[in-house]
Amino acid sequence: MRDTFYRSGRRLVGALAAANYKLDIDRHAIVPSGAKIIAPNHPTTTDPFLITRLLDEPMTILIHDTVFRVPVLGQYLSAAGHIRVVPGNGIAALSAAMRKLEQGRTVTIFPEGGISPANGLKEPRTGVARLALATGAPVIPVGIHLDRSRIRMIETTVDGEPELIRWYRRGPYYITVGKPMVFHGDAEDRAFVNRVATQIMQNITMLAWESEQRLARRPQRKPYSFARRLQFQRS
């Protein structure tokens, strides 16, 4: 049933993406089947929805608790099997993600733990490294880049509390998918876990840079000129 909800939502995202976004996905390697961890950077609130376009198979996404408290949307996220990340209780979310990976599912986690700053990426949290080391699942680093001038800051309230949403309304959305990364070691060794998290984030940063370069090389449409059209008609 959850996969049915997920696929219905993914089809809706596909229709919205076709109408509003110019998705460009470049893959360095074939994404393996079975349990894996998708690890993207997180420039906007739109990312958890558009990231579902990476794979045909269902994925479980770790999403901030605030989004689950949005009427209708939160109910859909729960029905589709996504994981609620409650501040101060990240262990519960990681435990749920581990169970999904052990069941052979794909899990998506944003290593920054929140929206990226406007001028770069945040330092990684350790959740992605702990998941990889505890389950042996490969990490698929993903770098996203978009036209930041098209991001819209939306002030709203959720359960009476003010929230700021960074929504990408429309425009080019470039994704670069890296090669699988596999790690072995002690998930309780804090120093080692930090090194793994840093290595993953370094790959994500490089892939986001590649996406940025592809977007920069994208041919720019010439602005429409009514005067030029009149001149053409007269000739």
SS3 content of the chain, % helix, strand, coil (to 5): 45, 25, 35
CATH number at residue 136: 3.40.1130
Pinpoint the alpha helices (H) of 40-89: 47-50, 65-68, 73-79
Measured distance CA(17)–CA(12) in Å, rounded: 9
> What confidence tens digit (pLDDT) does each residue in 133-160 have?
999 999 999 999 999 999 999 888 877 7
Cβ atoms within 10 Å of 75's Cβ, excluding its own:
12
Residue 227 has pLDDT above 80, yes or no: no
Measured in degrees and rounded to the nearest 5, phi and psi for residue 110 equal -90, 105
pTM assigned to the model: 0.90
Residue 38 token pair? 């998708």
**Residue range 12-35: average pLDDT?**
94
Measured distance CA(108)–CA(96) in Å, rounded: 12
Residue 118 token pair? 């406007």
pLDDT band at 232 (very low <50, low <70, confident <90, very high): very low
> What confidence tens digit (pLDDT) does each residue in 157-197 have?
877 778 888 899 899 999 999 999 999 999 999 999 999 99
pLDDT band at 222 (very low <50, low <70, confident <90, very high): low
C-alpha distances (whole Å) from 49 to each of 77, 112, 165, 195 are 10, 17, 14, 29
For residue 109, give its domain range.
2-234
The tally of domains found in the chain comes to 1
Residue 69 has pLDDT above 90, yes or no: no
